[in-house]
Amino acid sequence: MPQIHSVHWVSPAEYEAGEALATVRHEYVAGEVFAMAGASEQHNRISLNSAMQLRSAARGGPCGVFISDMRIRLAGGSYYYYPDVAVVCDPDDNATHHKERPCIVVEVLSTATANSDRREKWLSYRTLSSLRYYLLVDSRQPRIDYFRRGAAGEWEQGQLLPGEQLTLDCPPRYHATLEFDEVYADLLWPESLGEVL
């Protein structure tokens, strides 16, 4: 006979308290806590290259650029994610360990995270009225997909190609250019792109 174990649902307050003491980052999804695995060199380089371009445009302005250790809190605390890069331009979004109103979210895809980033996280992030851009940057092959909120509030999907750049604008006065070639600058691709990254 199979053994049955009870599931312990964690409250948002319990999650926040635990995360303040944790040595490993965890994401929180409607009462369940998931440990995050470490990232590859490819993943780190892409995150840093993306953040540098976005941070350069933010210098001296009202927006903050955050990488990997800043959580995004959604649905009143029902979800907490650690995006690879986030841009926040709302001065009232000033909690020290999480943000709630990002304008730009960048997720770097790996074999372990691609499905979650493309489905679960996208479904959650797009509920944020502040979000203007959601970028999916692949660490296994040079490919950047993005979602952009149109003037009427509808989501448009596109792909950034080699040699191209994407203009990113957030209120009140953030204007950045993300260049495909700079996102992938200094990457050493494995001989087989099918290798797990």
For 26-49, how does the pLDDT look when each residue is reduced to its tens digit (9 = 90+)? 677 887 777 777 678 888 999 999
Burial-class residue 130 by CB neighbours within 10 Å (0-12, 13-18, 19+): middle
pLDDT value at residue 197: 47
pLDDT value at residue 123: 92
Contact 169/82 with Cβ under 8 angstroms? no
Q: pLDDT averaged over the chain?
A: 88
pLDDT value at residue 76: 87
Question: What value does the mean pLDDT take over residues 58-86?
Answer: 92
- Pairing mode, strands 102-109 and 133-138: parallel
Domains of the chain, first to last: 39-183 (3.90.1570.10)
pLDDT value at residue 151: 87
Contact 176/168 with Cβ under 8 angstroms? yes
